Amino acid sequence: MTTVAVIGASNDQRKFGNKAVRAFLRAGYKVIAVNPKLAAVGETVEGCDTYATVLDVSHDIDLATLYVPPHIGEDVVSSIVEKNISELWVNPGAESRELIERSRRQGLVVREQCSIIAIGQSPADYE
How would you write the pLDDT of the chain (127 residues) with one tens digit per residue? 999 999 999 999 999 999 999 999 999 999 999 999 999 999 999 999 999 999 999 999 999 999 999 999 999 999 999 999 999 999 999 999 999 999 999 999 999 999 999 999 999 999 8
Q: Is residue 30 assigned to a domain?
A: yes
- Domain range for 12 is 3-75+109-126
Q: Is residue 53 assigned to a domain?
A: yes
Q: Is residue 84 assigned to a domain?
A: no
Q: Is residue 59 assigned to a domain?
A: yes
Cα separation, 19 vs 23, in Å, equals 6
Of 33, 55, 28, 54, residue with least CA distance to 44: 33
Q: Is residue 89 assigned to a domain?
A: no
Instruction: Give the chain's domain count.
Output: 1
Q: Is residue 98 assigned to a domain?
A: no
Domain holding 8: CATH number? Answer: 3.40.50.720
Cα separation, 62 vs 60, in Å, equals 7
